[in-house]
Chains A and B, each alone.
Chain A
Amino acid sequence: MFHLILFLFFGAICMAGAINLLVQSHPINSALSLIVVMAALAAEYLLLGAEFVAAVQVIVYAGAIMVLFVITIMLLNAGAEEHTRGSRVAILIGVPGVLIAAVLVTWTLVARGQTGSVAIGALPGSPQDIARLLFHDFLLPFEVTSVLILIAIMGAVVLASRPEAVAHRAAKPGQPDHKEMPQLVGSGSRSGKER
């Protein structure tokens, strides 16, 4: 009973955050409600007994990834979104379709799902077992993910740097590039005036 109350409480917070993400028009509000969703999901993981997943959820998702999002929103000076004809068509067709899909999934799982019941904190998850799995049984995927992260870092640096700044640096190595920051500030203030 206690487990069910806690599950419903954090599930309600989760759904409220998710719906708030859809309703808000400014991206920073959406990002903050997404942080609420992730924190509530971490609580759900704790209820299931997956402490490792809950900790990684808070550290990586609600911490690192959302900081990236918020910094990008601030850097680009993103304003409220504008609606177009295409978005109204998407609302008219998308909302009923997705609601039907949600009802179907819920009905199938509750009425036909042959799943068992779980007690609070039932999943095993001692650090010893997780370390053995991560660094012994899944050692190759773990190393591959480190290579993936490295490639992602290099891709982000290449994509986010200006082409002319790279060419400038390649032409004159050793000289710091002073043109980069004023350009960024100038473009930001210009787009701010347009809005």
Chain B
Amino acid sequence: MVPIAYYLVLSGLLFTCGVLGFLIKRNIITIFMSIELMLNGVNLSFVAFAAQWHVLGNEHALSGQIFVFFVMVVAAAEATVGLAIIIAVYRTRETLNVDRVNLLKL
């Protein structure tokens, strides 16, 4: 038996690692990967809360897992569009450093 709080702590630590990467990284692809890390932490917290709901005896405990599925679908769409934007930015700027990308105009 493991307390569900431990899973929540792991998810919180993963999320803070993602926030830290978002702050200190300068490569635009690595920043994007940090966002994926944050989404993973949130997914773990969804499953952990679904387990808590199951422990409390609710019969709809599966809904949390379905929510994780939707988060993953949105993350896939986000990764597709985001990487296309990164490619477009690299074509015009010839750099991946976010400090040098200061205009939205392509």
Contact = CB atoms under 8 A, between A and B. Distances in A.
Contacts of B51: 48-49, 118, 122-123
A98 B23 contact: yes
Contacts of A72: 29, 83, 86-87
Contacts of A30: 29-30, 33
Interface range on chain B: under 10, 10 to 19, 20 to 34, or 35 or more?
35 or more
B72 A133 contact: no
Given A84-B97, A98-B20, A191-B94, A37 B14 contact: yes
- Secondary structure at the B interface, as helix, strand, loop or mixed, is helix
Contacts of B32: 69
B4 A116 contact: yes
Contacts of B73: 60, 145, 148-149
A76 B28 CA distance: 12
A148 B79 CA distance: 13
A50 to B, nearest CB: 5
A116 B77 contact: no
Nearest to A79: B96
A59 to B, nearest CB: 9
Contacts of B13: 15, 18, 102, 105-106
Given A45-B47, A116-B4, A91 B96 contact: no
B40 A81 contact: no
B30 A27 contact: yes
A48 B74 CA distance: 23
11 contacts: A14-B14, A34-B37, A53-B47, A105-B16, A123-B50, A123-B65, A130-B66, A133-B62, A133-B63, A145-B73, A159-B85
Given A87-B26, A110-B9, 8 more contacts: A15-B13, A18-B18, A21-B37, A84-B99, A90-B24, A113-B8, A149-B73, A155-B80
